[in-house]
């Protein structure tokens, strides 16, 4: 019992140093955010309030896995639109790097720069602000701002279809 209390005290004291405890659970409120897109415009959770959106974190613009995932989302973008879902990508890349990535692959959705890593740490895409790249993780966020679905281990080749299948299943409930 004493060790359990000591462990709890130690872990509580270390929590700020350890970063995010992992992905947000389904049903939790997704944190408020405001980031800059590839055109230098501010985009925020406030402006997406009342809408369902998929926010996908990707490690690095232009790398093979990120390109595959982005292209799969692009190729299925019309289906997301039909379902009323906004797609938003997030990385630690600069807006300029994201602009080149989006232009090269004709992405019809915003790519946001979380250069200070604040959102990534809050949602488990990074452990600390010093982390070099975010984890490949996505959240489907409902119109009420709550997490509908967490995708903690994304397969870039199947992610878009997996999310669409979940959206159809959620709509059928």
Alpha helices in the chain (DSSP H): 2-18, 45-48, 64-75, 77-82, 95-105, 118-122, 159-171
Q: How far apart are the first and last CA of the chain?
A: 44
Q: Is 71 a residue of the active site? A: no
Tokens of 124: 């488990």
Which of 43, 48, 55, 66 is catalytic? The answer is 66
CB 90 within 8 A of CB 129: no
Positions marked catalytic: 66
């Amino acid at each position: 019992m004493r060790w359990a209390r000591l462990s709890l005290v130690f872990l509580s004291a270390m929590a700020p140093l350890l970063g995010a405890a992992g992905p947000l659970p389904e049903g939790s409120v997704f944190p408020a955010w405001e980031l800059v897109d590839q055109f230098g415009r501010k985009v925020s959770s406030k402006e997406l309030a009342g809408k369902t959106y998929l926010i996908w974190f990707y490690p690095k613009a232009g790398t093979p896995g990120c390109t595959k995932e982005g292209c799969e989302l692009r190729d299925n973008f019309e289906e997301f639109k039909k379902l009323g879902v906004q797609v938003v990508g997030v990385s630690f890349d600069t807006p300029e790097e994201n602009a080149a990535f989006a232009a090269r692959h004709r992405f019809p959705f915003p790519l946001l720069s979380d250069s200070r890593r604040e959102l990534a740490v809050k949602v488990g895409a990074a452990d600390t602000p010093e982390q070099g790249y975010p984890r490949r993780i996505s959240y489907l966020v409902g119109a009420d701002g709550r997490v509908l679905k967490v995708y903690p281990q994304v397969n870039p080749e199947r992610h878009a279809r997996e999310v669409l299948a979940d959206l159809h299943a959620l709509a059928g409930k």
